[in-house]
Amino acid sequence: MQLSLGLLVASLVTSIGAQSTFSPARPPAIPLAVRSPYLSTWLDAGSDGGNGGYLAGQWPVFWQNQVTGWAGMIRVDGNVYTWMGLPDTKTVNQVAYEYTSTKSIFTMHVDNKLEMNITFLSPITPEDFKRQSLVFSYLNVEVSSLDGQDHDVQVYADISAEWVSGDRNAVAEWDYGTTDGVAYHKVYRQTQLAFSEKNEQGEWGYWYWATDASSGMTHQSGSAGDVRSEFSNNGKLANQGDTNFRAIQNDWPVFGFSSDLGSVGSSPASTLFSLGLTQDQAAQYEGAQSYGPVPSLWKSYFDTELAALAFFHHDYSESTIFATEFDEKVARDSIATAGQDYLTITSLSARQAFGATQLCGTQEKTYLFLKEISSDGNMNTVDVVFPAYPIFLYSNPALLRLVLDPLFENQEAGKYPNDYSMHDMGSSYPNATGHSDGSDEKMPLEECGDMLIMTLAYSQKSGDTDYLKLHYNLLKKWTSYLVADSLYPANQISTDDFAGSLANQTNLALKGMIGIQAMAVIANKTGHRDDAANFTSIAHDYITQWQELAIAKDASPPHTTLSYGDTNSHGLLYNLFADAQLGLGLVPQSVYQMQSNFYPTVANKYGVPLDTRHAYTKSDWECFAAAIASVDTRNMFLKDLATWINETPTNRPLTDLYDTESGNYPQNTFVARPVMGGSFAPLLVRS
């Protein structure tokens, strides 16, 4: 029963202290440092397993759920409190939590003496690749007096070696230094395992944990107990390094900084920390050339990792301005499109979507590599890029090109044998091996349609027609596949592979037909008039037949079916979004209107089920369906989803697959997936 769960949380929280507000929602997990597949640390905020969203009192975790030790303490007039993680002291009182697209901001009270604003900023700069290429995140702690008195304040924070490997028996090594006014702990796996993962964490590269090398700063590495008690007892650290390099879990080495802010009154004093990962080479790639390593993109902007670190750390004010601009753009556009419920969804999705990607290559030849986080770790999966494409198209269409480029390059070099589109660039991120044996997961109709739609979407938004010319032959080959298979799709899986395979899938057929019409437009734009005429005539013929095959006309209200002829079935017709987004006008308005009228009749508490086979839904596809619905139906989708965010018992990074009645996971636990970039779909088809 809902009530008892709520009461349990309330009493738990009251025993800790006053309750925090959560604005605009209490998400299932709070993004702390979320910038790439390997810099992805969150705070479980669910009521079931997490502590309900309090920064102090539980450890931050990697998206896969193992602890990435990150602790914060503050000393006020000699009394010590914890503000992050689980050191053994009293905790501060969290009074508020707020998120924007790039920031998580906690407001804490320390015994009604001091206020703390703790800001986790994971920048998103879609058009500024120099900044976007840095796999770094900020933590800023700002304090001021609450009671009008001056207080003696020291701020402490550390990370553990858990950040450097998913194997707690791996031996860590570390070093301390300063560069350009920045003090840093450098921590890394002693035995580097290039391009390898353990428990989804990256096993190579160097982690930097840094702060200002100011006069009040002290530092120390050593066992968690030693370093933290040094601070608790003395309000400063010993400026010493532990040189007994050892396993991560062997007496847990931590890397601490303390900052003496001195006497703090009503004007705020602050301490800034930066945390990030440098990997000279970030991926391996089978493109037109033979398989080989690809550098991280930041390498083409900075000569050394210390230069990159120093730039990032000193860039906080500037970076905050850019981040706030991005936050405000998303807020303005989301509110104008569909109001606050909608912004609750988009602003929570932004870091998650970008956090599954990394810019790689050089300034001359850049790639955006994307990890299919949590479902299988595939790289640049076509039908995972597709649900995410709205956020790329919205924020900078060039990003969509950079994520598609590897797929084109590999297949145009003749490295994929099938006559349909490849499913992904490689089974295990960060190895973009391609699939020269053609035995990738077979989703032929889905992927051909996706590639055609996304290629045209990029070209329309950017004005880049050459891209269509460059890839014309391959696009045309995929269209032939669609012509052969999309009127009566063979028994196959769609992107929703967990739901099983089926013949004659209505929504999949529609994607194919939209793909063919997209090709007609591509042909027209590139001077291939005969192809344009041929494909548009086929697409229109198919869509006329599709309306006979796929609509339960006599149902009340009428609706499309899950598969042809199964008049008792239904499903989210999310592929219709592409017809509107690309402005194709292929599908009659009556179909849009019919679906809009139908969805509210089958909505559950937290949304409309994906289809009649199960009670679960996909949040990305709900946003696609919402984007093209009537105002009322759209608002229903978005309100249900925002309510779910607030109430779900899940407590891991935003899932895109949940039960529409319980709000919980169904059989699959999808978390932190980039597909939530699909929440930006309604921004692309404003009516």
Ligand X SMILES: *[C@@H]1O[C@H](CO)[C@@H](O)[C@H](O)[C@H]1NC(C)=O
* Least spacing, CB of residue 536 vs ligand X, in Å: 4
* Least spacing, CB of residue 92 vs ligand X, in Å: 12
* Least spacing, CB of residue 167 vs ligand X, in Å: 13
- SS3 string, 181-221, reads CEEEEEEEECCCCCCCEECCEECCCEEEEEEECCCCEEEEE
Dist. CA 350–CA 268, nearest whole Å: 30
601-612 core/surface letters (b: 16 or more CB in 10 A; e: else): eebbebbbbbbe
Q: Measured from the CB atom, is 245 or 488 closer to ligand X?
A: 488
Assigned token pair, 468: 């269509």
Dist. CA 452–CA 446, nearest whole Å: 10
Q: Is 365 in contact with 287 (CB distance < 8 Å)?
A: no
Q: Measured from the CB atom, is 250 or 480 closer to ligand X?
A: 480
Q: Measured from the CB atom, is 228 or 371 closer to ligand X?
A: 371
Q: Measured from the CB atom, is 255 or 542 closer to ligand X?
A: 542
Strand 657-659 vs strand 281-285: parallel, antiparallel, or unpaired? unpaired
Dist. CA 74–CA 92, nearest whole Å: 9
Dist. CA 654–CA 658, nearest whole Å: 10
Q: Measured from the CB atom, is 183 or 483 closer to ligand X?
A: 483
Q: Measured from the CB atom, is 58 or 504 closer to ligand X?
A: 504
Burial of 65 (0-12, 13-18, 19+ CB in 10 A): middle
Q: Measured from the CB atom, is 143 or 404 closer to ligand X?
A: 143
Dist. CA 360–CA 36, nearest whole Å: 12
Q: Measured from the CB atom, is 141 or 183 closer to ligand X?
A: 141
Dist. CA 170–CA 178, nearest whole Å: 26
Q: Measured from the CB atom, is 98 or 497 closer to ligand X?
A: 98
* Least spacing, CB of residue 284 vs ligand X, in Å: 6
Q: Is 367 in contact with 406 (CB distance < 8 Å)?
A: yes
Phi, psi of 113 (to 5 degrees): -100, -35
HSE value, Cβ hemisphere, 13 Å, CA-based, for 675: 26
Q: Is 231 in contact with 258 (CB distance < 8 Å)?
A: yes
* Least spacing, CB of residue 647 vs ligand X, in Å: 27
Q: Measured from the CB atom, is 143 or 475 closer to ligand X?
A: 143
* Least spacing, CB of residue 509 vs ligand X, in Å: 10
Assigned token pair, 30: 């709070």
Please report, as a single letter, which amino acid is at residue 419.
Answer: D
* Least spacing, CB of residue 579 vs ligand X, in Å: 13
Q: Measured from the CB atom, is 12 or 533 closer to ligand X?
A: 533
Assigned token pair, 476: 């045309």
Residues 6+ positions from 288 with CB-CB distance below 8 Å? 409, 410, 412, 413
* Least spacing, CB of residue 483 vs ligand X, in Å: 4
Interface residue list for ligand X (CB under 6 A): 115, 117, 142-144, 195-197, 268, 284, 428, 431, 480, 483, 488, 491, 503-504, 520-521, 524, 532, 534, 536, 549, 564-565
Q: Is 237 in contact with 219 (CB distance < 8 Å)?
A: yes
Local structure of 373: helix, strand or coil: coil
Residues 6+ positions from 642 with CB-CB distance below 8 Å? 25, 340, 341, 342, 344, 345
One DSSP character per residue, 505-553 reads BHHHHHHHHHHHHHHHHHHHHTT-HHHHHHHHHHHHHHHHHHHHHHEET
Dist. CA 286–CA 64, nearest whole Å: 28
* Least spacing, CB of residue 57 vs ligand X, in Å: 21
Q: Measured from the CB atom, is 611 or 620 closer to ligand X?
A: 611
* Least spacing, CB of residue 148 vs ligand X, in Å: 14
Q: Measured from the CB atom, is 395 or 581 closer to ligand X?
A: 581
